[in-house]
């Protein structure tokens, strides 16, 4: 179908932050966290120019024109659904830190796809299936590990088969607590991925396969196993050269018995099963070291059981 959306049509979508990898689950495991960005999209008349208003994270730094990620993806998906050249006003209320390994770009992409799907469905187009939304997100993101939990909520296992992305949701133990430690400065994902080797030793791959399988069980059924289940051998140590403070923090947290991992490509650190009161003594000890620098933010967050939500 081809047509125009009615001017004034509106949708609001909220999407959670995500943490990918979770230690051993490189590029396939992710967890939705209860920090949410929200986007309100309003259809404008064809004679008006699209615009983007941003509050919170990224205000004054992300573009406010057609190059804005949410606007770019939203208009592209609408064009694919038969509504080309749609003019929109976006109101983005951002709470997910940027360039910290908390899935801000994946959440933006998922928000755009969910909003486009809702607007198109409101005009009579068939709704997209979850795997279709995921594949669209992967087309922008390149991999599904953040997009899957952003769409589905909870924890998610993602994979590709015959060039198509798929995901399965894991219900997370209701008692699981998470703490994120967010450094004051970020690091691009491309830099963090660029230091990884093309191949890893067979023994390290076997180690991670066992730990990733254990992690799936621990997240849903036995959180007491999270410390052992989050041991990684194939990506975190390779990133020490570009993330020395984050890896030092992980070393100290794990020495204290806490299941600490790099959140995605970093530099944020995620502690599964730990509260700020457990984490704070380690952070305080780091502040007394030779490179104190600005203090990272320590925040207790719940697991987001809902992924993208349309209102």
Known binding residue 235? Answer is: no
- Give me the sign of the Cα torsion angle 211, 249, 190, 157: positive
Known binding residue 105? Answer is: yes
44: left (phi over 0), alpha (psi -120 to 50) or beta: beta
- Total residues found in the chain within this entry: 311
List Cβ neighbours of 171 (8 Å cut-off, separation of 6 or more).
154, 155, 220
Known binding residue 188? Answer is: no
Known binding residue 101? Answer is: yes
Which parts of the chain fold into alpha helices (H)?
69-80, 104-122, 130-141, 147-152, 189-194, 202-220, 226-229, 244-255, 276-287
Do 96 and 57 meet the contact criterion of CB atoms below 8 Å apart?
yes
Known binding residue 99? Answer is: yes
Known binding residue 106? Answer is: yes
* Whether residue 267 has a cis bond before it, omega within 30° of 0: yes
What is the DSSP secondary structure assignment for residue 150, as one 8-state letter? H
Q: Terminal CA-to-CA distance of the chain, rounded, Å?
A: 25
Record the tokens describing residue 258, joined without a space. 């806490």
Binding residues for ATP: 97-107
Binding residues: 97-107
């Amino acid at each position: 179908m081809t047509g125009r959306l009615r001017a004034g049509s509106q949708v609001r979508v909220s999407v959670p932050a995500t943490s990918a990898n979770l230690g051993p689950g490189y590029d396939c495991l992710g967890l939705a966290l209860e920090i949410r960005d929200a986007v309100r999209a309003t259809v404008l008349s064809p004679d008006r120019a699209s615009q983007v208003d941003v509050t919170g994270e990224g205000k004054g730094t992300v573009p406010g024109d057609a190059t804005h990620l949410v606007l770019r993806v939203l208009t592209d998906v609408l064009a694919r659904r038969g509504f080309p050249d749609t003019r929109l006003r976006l109101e983005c209320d951002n709470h997910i830190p940027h360039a910290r390994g908390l899935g801000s770009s994946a959440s933006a992409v998922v928000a755009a796809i969910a909003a486009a799907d809702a607007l198109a469905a409101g005009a009579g187009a068939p709704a997209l299936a979850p795997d279709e939304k995921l594949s669209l997100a992967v087309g922008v993101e390149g991999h599904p590990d953040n997009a899957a939990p952003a769409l589905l909520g909870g924890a998610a296992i993602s994979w590709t088969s015959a060039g198509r992305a798929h995901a399965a949701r894991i219900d997370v133990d209701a008692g699981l607590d998470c703490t994120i430690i967010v450094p004051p400065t970020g690091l691009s994902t491309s830099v963090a991925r660029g230091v990884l080797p093309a191949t890893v030793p067979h023994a390290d791959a076997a180690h991670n396969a066992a730990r990733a399988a254990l992690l799936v069980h621990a997240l849903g059924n036995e959180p007491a196993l999270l410390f052992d289940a989050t041991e990684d051998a194939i990506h975190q140590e390779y990133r020490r050269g570009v993330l020395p403070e984050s890896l030092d923090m992980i070393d100290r947290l794990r020495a204290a018995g806490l299941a600490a991992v790099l959140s995605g490509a970093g530099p944020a650190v995620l502690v599964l099963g730990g509260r700020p009161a457990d984490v704070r003594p380690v952070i305080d000890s780091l502040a007394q070291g030779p490179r104190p620098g600005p203090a990272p933010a320590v925040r207790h967050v719940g697991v987001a059981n809902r992924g993208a939500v349309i209102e």
